[in-house]
Structure 1
Amino acid sequence: MARAPGKPRTTLKRVARRMADPAPRRIGLSKQLGAEPAPMPGFIEPALASLVADAPKGERWVHEIKFDGYRVQACIRDGSVRLLTRGGLDWTEKFGDQLSHALTGLPVEQAIIDGELVAENELGASDFSALQNALKAGNTGRLLYYAFDLLYLDGHDLRQLPLSRRRDLLGDLLLEPADPVRFSEHFEASGDVVKRHACQLKFEGIISKSLDDPYRSGRAGIWLKVKCSSRQEFVVAGYVPSTASGTAIGSLVLGAFMGERLQHVGRVGTGFTQATARDLYERLEARRAATSPFAGRLTVAARKGVRFVRPELVAEIEFRGWSSDGLLRHASFRGLREDKPAGEVAIEVPKRGPEQPEVTGRG
């Protein structure tokens, strides 16, 4: 929760500098933060949101816009910063100097911030395709970083504090403008109302978070996501060449893991620019495989014209639902997800959230 306008700002960095002796400095900051001193950890596995059919209800929950970008953990230490993907890859150089300079200018000595890196489209909504195009062109000036959680601050691990307290502290750090770093605002209105407005404004959906809980890595059921449309990541297991060009793809053959078994989920043949179709052709030709990577045998129709590849690339796909035989309907390619390993891609099914009925099937 952001500090009310006009309220005096207490900067932890300034408090620490006023304390000459290390012992009272630790005691003072610990009391102010409500957290015990701890060494700065390395990469922290991110908290992940579970897909549900409807937003949760009640005062326990707050709701944020679901951004369509790369999850990024910003690790600030003594004037330098590392920007890590959700899998722990160091992409600091890839994201350019502007973001790093803004983060190192924050009033902290050490911090770990959780957020999302995005690029916005002409409507002002985050857009994954726009982000990929900006990174490919080296146009990092278009990037924005929406910070939504604070995990570590000046010698103190904050993960055991409730979300409400962590967001108070994060709001303190971001009171002064530090473009392209922005505070991800939350809404305390009813979740279904927030979701309806988010969908009207062409956002991907919302994330609902429990105010009273600590930060928990993985899917702990205290962060929930509700989407405006069906969109998931799938593994690229093959492709069909374009009929108009010998050096471009016409469609991708997709799958998702069920345990260690790769399950066929259909094809996607729209959403590609000519440049993207050629780029995918080059990437996939380098990964050609002699046999199908799927656990089960495909039908004659599903195998027709397919060149199989090693299941290493992950594509984000928007679609309208599932057919009766378990295949994607009206699928459209959104981009490659180079921040997510293929082995973690599974079919997401909306689960029962708080005060919600059980949801069965895939839709």
Structure 2
Amino acid sequence: MFISPMLLQYAENNLPFDSESTRCELKFDGIRLLVSKMDRIRLYTRHNNEVTSLFPELLDIDLSAGTVLDGEVILTVDQGKPDFEEMMIRYKSKRDKIKVTFVAFDIIKYKGIDVTGLPLHKRKDLLEDAFVESLRYVSKWKLHRIL
């Protein structure tokens, strides 16, 4: 089941701003991806294209039914640096099977409940509980603190 992700919005006059209600996070060069578990794990781009078969390494995750994660799928190269060009080669290739990593930065549904109305810091807390990190799944919040 596809649920549209929240997208970026421009700041007033498209100028940088500083606010207590704003959180800045690292930008990863990857492909926006939703990981959804209604009946089984399915992967969707932000344009509602199901791409589950393209990333079989992302199917091994223990998510509660009714959970939807929002994030990016990345391919890392030298010293763990994300590489968008390599990610696009992997995305389009039927032969190139370099393994990818999903970096979760938000949660849209948790155990069947739409949580998009909650404040971001509460969704980040839910995200921490939604899955166990592995080689293929990491939380952007935890990764941000490591880097």
TM-score calculated relative to the size of structure 1: 0.36
| Matches of 1:177 and 1:43, distance apart in 2 | 23
Aligned match of 1:62: 23
Which runs of no fewer than 5 residues in structure 2 stay unpaired? Answer: none
- Secondary structure (helix, strand or coil) at the match of 1:61 reads coil
Bigger relative contact order (CA 8 A; separation at least 6): 2
1:132 CA drift (Å) = 1.9
1:15-59 per-residue CA deviation (whole Å, 9 max, x = no partner) reads xxxxxxxxxxxxxxxxxxxxxxxxxxx322222213566543122
Aligned match of 1:113: 69
Aligned match of 1:243: none
- Secondary structure (helix, strand or coil) at the match of 2:41 reads strand
Aligned match of 1:129: 85
Asked if 1:44 is matched to 2:15, the reply is no
- Secondary structure (helix, strand or coil) at the match of 2:24 reads strand
| Matches of 1:65 and 1:114, distance apart in 2 | 15
The within-5 A match list for 1:151-162 is 151-162=108-119
TM-aligned CA distance change 1:145 to 1:138, over 3 Å = same
- The aligned amino acid for 1:68 is D
| Matches of 2:98 and 2:71, distance apart in 1 | 17
2:133 and 2:139 in contact (8 A); partners too: no
1:136-174 per-residue CA deviation (whole Å, 9 max, x = no partner) reads 243142x01000111111121111111111111001123
- Secondary structure (helix, strand or coil) at the match of 2:28 reads coil
Aligned match of 1:245: none
Aligned match of 2:46: 86
2:34 and 2:44 in contact (8 A); partners too: yes
- The aligned amino acid for 1:45 is S
- The aligned amino acid for 1:65 is L
C-alpha RMSD of matched pairs (Å): 2.3
Pick aligned residue for 2:139 from 156, 159, 183:
183
TM-score calculated relative to the size of structure 2: 0.83
Structure number with the higher strand fraction is: 1
- The aligned amino acid for 1:56 is F
Aligned match of 1:147: 104
2:35 and 2:44 in contact (8 A); partners too: yes
TM-aligned CA distance change 1:183 to 1:55, over 3 Å = farther
| Matches of 1:184 and 1:56, distance apart in 2 | 22
